[in-house]
């Protein structure tokens, strides 16, 4: 019985797909299939119901899967014990939300390269839920993600709240002269937002629905800086973290629209697996670099969650 075979089996159950399991472990589909078959032969039992789509474990396969997860956690503990004092080297797989990527990535990667020359940083971008899933499933070593305060993370994922940010509604300067507005006042103007899947957009949509209003999208775009440029050009209202607004080259062309019944706050989290080995120091450095780049408008917190 080989550890590689156990990892392949766990990946297939987790992904419910041989092809996705192969992608997550960076192997070919035949290699995954062969390892799972070897594992089944070693145990003398069929673990997968191959007549279902997506793939599902048999009743025994589900019990074996839970035991295998416990085995892999213990192996991670052992690896962490022997590697935590070694100098960081190899790949450091990081994730950042598309919302803050433009603002933090270049400086953070440059500083990491200077501090850890034997470490090669690789970066993935996406929405918070997607990045969290990648950390949980071992596809990323760490990620900076945006979630509400009190977020509960999956088993095996450690989350540290690095700070808190106000989300602000923004418009082109001079368009909204009054001192206070409500969501109903913003309804007809329409919004420039990230595509569906963005947590900011989802929160705004929930607030509008509570008022009996629908979300009017004028334009969809990736990245905060492009969004702010379009808002400055009069294309609609935007919703962004205040630190990113203050650091934007469009700041002088924009103004915050005070909305009395919509004052969202989001936490910036650094998440990583419980066991990080010799990557703990560069992961912590990455989190601090993100905080430094966002600046003093990031309200510091000390909350940490280890599951």
**pLDDT > 90? residue 232:** yes
CA distance 20 to 5: 16
Q: Which CATH number fits domain 3-83: 1.10.10.10, 3.40.50.12780, 3.30.460.80, 3.30.2010.10?
A: 1.10.10.10
Is residue 205 within 8 Å of 215, Cβ to Cβ?
Answer: yes
* Per-residue pLDDT tens digits for 68-126: 988 887 887 777 655 656 666 778 999 998 778 777 888 888 899 999 988 888 888 88
What is the per-residue pLDDT for 119?
86
Report CA Rg, the chain.
Answer: 23
Domain boundaries, the chain: 3-83, 90-307
Residue 235 DSSP code: S
Q: Chain-wide mean pLDDT for the chain?
A: 86
What is the per-residue pLDDT for 87?
67
**Can 3-83 and 90-307 be said to share one CATH topology?**
no
Q: Which CATH number fits domain 90-307: 3.40.190.290, 2.30.300.10, 3.30.230.10, 3.20.10.10?
A: 3.40.190.290
* Per-residue pLDDT tens digits for 117-156: 888 888 888 888 889 999 988 889 999 998 887 888 988 8
What is the per-residue pLDDT for 83?
61
Is residue 306 within 8 Å of 158, Cβ to Cβ?
Answer: yes
Distances in whole angstroms, Cα of residue 18 to Cα of each of 52, 53, 68, 124, 139:
13, 11, 17, 22, 16
Residues recorded for the chain: 307
């Amino acid at each position: 019985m080989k550890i590689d075979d156990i990892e392949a089996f766990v990946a297939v159950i987790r992904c419910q797909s041989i092809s996705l399991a192969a992608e997550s472990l960076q192997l070919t589909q035949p290699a995954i299939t062969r390892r799972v078959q070897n594992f089944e032969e070693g145990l003398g039992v069929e673990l997968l119901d191959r007549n279902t789509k997506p793939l599902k474990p048999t009743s025994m396969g589900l019990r074996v899967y839970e035991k295998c997860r416990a085995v892999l956690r213990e192996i991670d503990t052992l690896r962490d014990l022997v590697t935590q004092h070694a100098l960081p080297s190899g790949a450091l797989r990081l994730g950042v939300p598309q919302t803050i990527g433009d603002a933090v990535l270049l400086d953070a990667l440059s500083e990491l390269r200077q501090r850890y020359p034997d470490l090669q940083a690789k970066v993935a971008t996406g929405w918070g839920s997607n990045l969290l899933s990648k950390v949980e499933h071992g596809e990323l070593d760490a990620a900076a993600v945006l979630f509400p305060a009190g977020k509960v993370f999956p088993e095996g994922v450690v989350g540290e709240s690095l700070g808190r940010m106000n989300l602000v509604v923004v418009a082109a300067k001079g368009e909204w002269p009054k001192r206070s507005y409500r969501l109903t006042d913003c309804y007809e103007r329409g919004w420039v937002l990230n595509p569906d899947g963005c947590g900011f957009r989802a929160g705004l949509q929930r607030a509008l629905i509570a008022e009996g209003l629908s979300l009017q999208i004028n334009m969809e775009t990736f990245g905060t800086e492009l969004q702010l440029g379009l808002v400055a050009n009069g294309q609609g209202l935007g919703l962004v973290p205040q630190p990113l607004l203050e650091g934007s080259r469009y700041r002088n062309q924009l103004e915050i629209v005070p909305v009395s019944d919509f004052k969202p706050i989001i936490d910036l989290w650094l998440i990583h697996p419980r066991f990080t080995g010799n990557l703990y120091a560069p992961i912590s450095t990455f989190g601090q670099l993100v905080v430094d780049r966002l600046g003093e408008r990031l309200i510091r917190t000390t909350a940490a969650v280890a599951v």
